[in-house]
A = this chain, B = another copy of it.
Amino acid sequence: SNTIKVAVVGGEGIGPEVTDQSHRILKWFSDRRGAPVVLREAQYGLIPYLSTGKVLPDDTLAAMEEADAILWGATGGPETTEVPSAARKAGSLLSLRSKYDLYANLRPIVANPALADSAPLKASVLKDVDFIIIRELTSGIYFGEPRGIETLPDGQRRGFNTQQYTSSQVRRVARTAFELARTRKGRVCSVDKANVLETSVLWREEVTALHEAEFSDVELTHLYVDNAAMQIVRAPSQFDVMVTCNIFGDILSDCAAMASGSLGMLPSASLGPPDRLGRRKALYEPVHGSAPDIAGKGIANPLGSILSVAMMLRITLNRPDDATLLEQAVDTALAAGARTADIAEPGAKRLSTQEMGDAVLNAL
CB within 8 Å of B: which residues of A?
Answer: 76, 94, 120-122, 125, 141-142, 144, 147-149, 152, 156-168, 193, 195-203, 206, 225-227, 229-230, 232-235, 247-248, 250-255, 257-258, 263
**Chain B residue at minimum C-beta to C-beta distance from A116:** B122
Which secondary structure dominates where chain A touches chain B? helix
* Cα–Cα, bound, A149→B203 (Å): 11
The answer to whether B233 and A161 touch across the interface, beta carbons within 8 angstroms, is: no
The answer to whether A201 and B162 touch across the interface, beta carbons within 8 angstroms, is: no
Within 8 Å CB of A167, what residues of B?
A: 156-158
Pick the 7 closest A-B CB pairs, nearest first: A159-B202, A159-B199, A229-B255, A233-B258, A226-B254, A230-B254, A120-B125
**Chain B residue at minimum C-beta to C-beta distance from A168:** B156
The answer to whether A159 and B164 touch across the interface, beta carbons within 8 angstroms, is: yes
Known: A167-B156, A229-B229. A234 touches B149 (CB 8 A): no
Within 8 Å CB of A161, what residues of B?
A: 162-164, 197-199
**Chain B residue at minimum C-beta to C-beta distance from A255:** B229
Known: A120-B125, A161-B163, A168-B156. A201 touches B149 (CB 8 A): yes
Known: A94-B196, A120-B235. A164 touches B168 (CB 8 A): no
* Cα–Cα, bound, A164→B168 (Å): 26
Within 8 Å CB of A251, what residues of B?
A: 225-226, 229, 248, 251
CB<8 Å pairs between A and B, sample of 21: A121-B233, A141-B141, A141-B197, A147-B198, A148-B198, A152-B166, A156-B167, A157-B166, A158-B202, A159-B166, A159-B200, A159-B203, A161-B164, A161-B199, A193-B250, A225-B251, A229-B251, A230-B263, A232-B255, A233-B255, A251-B251
